[in-house]
Amino acid sequence: MGLSIGIVGLPNVGKSTLFTALTRKSVGASNYPFCTIEPNVGVVAVPDARLERVAEIFRPEKVTPATVEFVDIAGLVKGANEGEGLGNQFLSHIREVDAICEVVRFFADENVVHVGGVVNPASDVETIRTELVLADLETTERVAARLDKEAKKDKTLESKLEIVKRLEAWMEQGHRAGRMEMTAEERVLLRDLHLLTMKPTLYVANVDEADIGHTFSEIDGQMPIPICAKIEAELAELDPSELAEYLQAEGLEEPGLNVLIRRAFSLLGLESFFTGGPKEVRAWTISKGSTAVEAAGEIHTDFARGFIKAEVISFEDLDRLGSEAAARAQGRLRIEGKDYIVADGDVMHFRFNV
Ligand code: GDP
């Protein structure tokens, strides 16, 4: 399942630094507003202690984690809508992502220029929201004009026109599309508009080192994830024992990046199931509520087409019993059919015939 997250924010808030930390590859973070002109894409492993445990049990040749793609999206500045900065170029990149990670500058550092002159998270969030809402309004205006004409001939389009117009009025008041109350059917009608402010969004507070572990006030109704991008970039370079030492000294359980990646994963309603054998242990990504046959299809279309049954052990059982054979002997290996709803962490083996 391809899953991508766009990193946005004003210039000099630490987007490239965060991206570098995430992907451990330098994209030229520098004290210059438009250093990331092309979108940079990095594939990041989803940290999952369960996968390590499953690998310990199967001792495979290879371990493959679930992944998330991060895209560093440059060019969003105040007035982008009127062509400031890189203008609307950023829009085409941001439309393609499944979710948005907005980096908000909380760190002070007077050596790093702030585009607005002073560090002011609330005002920065407002600026970005305004730009995204304006971009979405351009879309809804265009779509409403087209639907207006077409609905005269085709009455079935009237309900779509009605919701687009209602949304337009809502966004004209400066609100994000995603915060308007609407039915599930209405949401489906709006899907092909690919609105930016309809995408699930999470906020990263890029804080000073001294503020790691503090909590910050809500942004747009949700708690931001506090991270010090500069430190995360340094941590990403450490070997595991040095990292463990640092975390222990700071009283932290894991790097902030791990928290961010997992939050992004659950924000999107995703979960993992595992497959295991002597060759490979692997984590696969599915939407919550997926059936066994959908999970099989994630591995290969043949698995779904020729699906016979799935052998399932819950992660907890496998962890506790320590082997597949023990789980079988204890009656903890279940046979499930096509419609079985996969649980997060299930260890699965598919039987199929094509
Ligand atoms: P972008 O324009 O949003 O991509 O910002 P960059 O990642 O290029 O960062 C701009 C500058 O801020 C660089 O000089 C970074 O080293 C610095 N920077 C990024 N994150 C932090 C941080 O957490 N603390 C401090 N003090 N500086 C940071």
134-188 per-position pLDDT tens digit: 989 999 999 999 999 999 999 999 999 999 999 999 999 999 999 999 999 999 9
Short-list 312, 307, 266, 303, CA closest to 285: 266
At 254, list the tokens. Answer: 């894991």
At 222, list the tokens. Answer: 């949700």
Interval 290-327: pLDDT, tens: 999 999 999 999 999 999 999 999 999 999 999 999 99
Exposed, middle or buried, 172 (CB in 10 Å: 0-12/13-18/19+)?
Answer: exposed
Q: How far is the CA of 56 from the centre of ligand 1 (A)?
A: 38
Q: Is 201 in the pocket of ligand 1 (CB under 6 A)?
A: no
Q: Is 135 in the pocket of ligand 1 (CB under 6 A)?
A: no
Q: Is 40 in the pocket of ligand 1 (CB under 6 A)?
A: no
Q: How far is the CA of 171 from the centre of ligand 1 (A)?
A: 32
pLDDT at 27 over 60: no
In a domain, 328, yes or no: yes
Interval 114-125: pLDDT, tens: 877 788 899 999
Q: Is 211 in the pocket of ligand 1 (CB under 6 A)?
A: no
Atom index in ligand 1 nearest the CA of residue 18 equals 7
Can you give the residue range of the structural domain that contains 317?
289-352
Pair 206, 103: CB distance under 8 Å: yes
pLDDT at 118: 82
In a domain, 28, yes or no: no
pLDDT at 197: 94
Say how many domains are in the chain.
1
At 224, list the tokens. Answer: 């931001």
Of 93-97, 146-150, 230-234, least confident by mean pLDDT is: 93-97
CA dihedral of 50, 70, 261, 21, whole degrees rounded to 10: 100
Give how far Cα 159 sits from Cα of 136, 143, 280, 296, Å. 19, 13, 50, 37
Neighbours of 109 (CB within 10 A): 14
In a domain, 293, yes or no: yes
Q: Is 105 in the pocket of ligand 1 (CB under 6 A)?
A: no
Provide the 3-class DSSP secondary structure of residue 92: helix
Atom index in ligand 1 nearest the CA of residue 31 equals 14
* Tokens 């747009």, residue located: 220
| 120 contacts: CB under 8 Å, gap ≥ 6 | none
Q: Is 13 in the pocket of ligand 1 (CB under 6 A)?
A: yes
In a domain, 50, yes or no: no
d(CA 310, CA 307): 8
In a domain, 80, yes or no: no
Beta bridge partners of 291: 341
Q: Is 78 in the pocket of ligand 1 (CB under 6 A)?
A: no
Q: Is 12 in the pocket of ligand 1 (CB under 6 A)?
A: yes
Neighbours of 308 (CB within 10 A): 13
CATH number, domain of 305, equals 3.10.20.30
Q: Is 75 in the pocket of ligand 1 (CB under 6 A)?
A: no
Provide the 3-class DSSP secondary structure of residue 282: strand
Q: How far is the CA of 31 from the centre of ligand 1 (A)?
A: 7
Strands (DSSP E) contained in 155-229 are 201-206, 225-227
Containing H/E element for 136?
Answer: helix 121-153
Residue from 10, 230, 232, 260 whose mutation best tests the ligand 1 pocket (most atoms within 8 A of CB): 230
The length of the chain in residues reads: 354
In a domain, 234, yes or no: no
In a domain, 33, yes or no: no
pLDDT at 59 over 60: yes
In a domain, 97, yes or no: no
pLDDT at 83: 63
d(CA 94, CA 73): 7
Give how far Cα 227 sits from Cα of 59, 66, 240, 260, Å. 34, 22, 19, 9
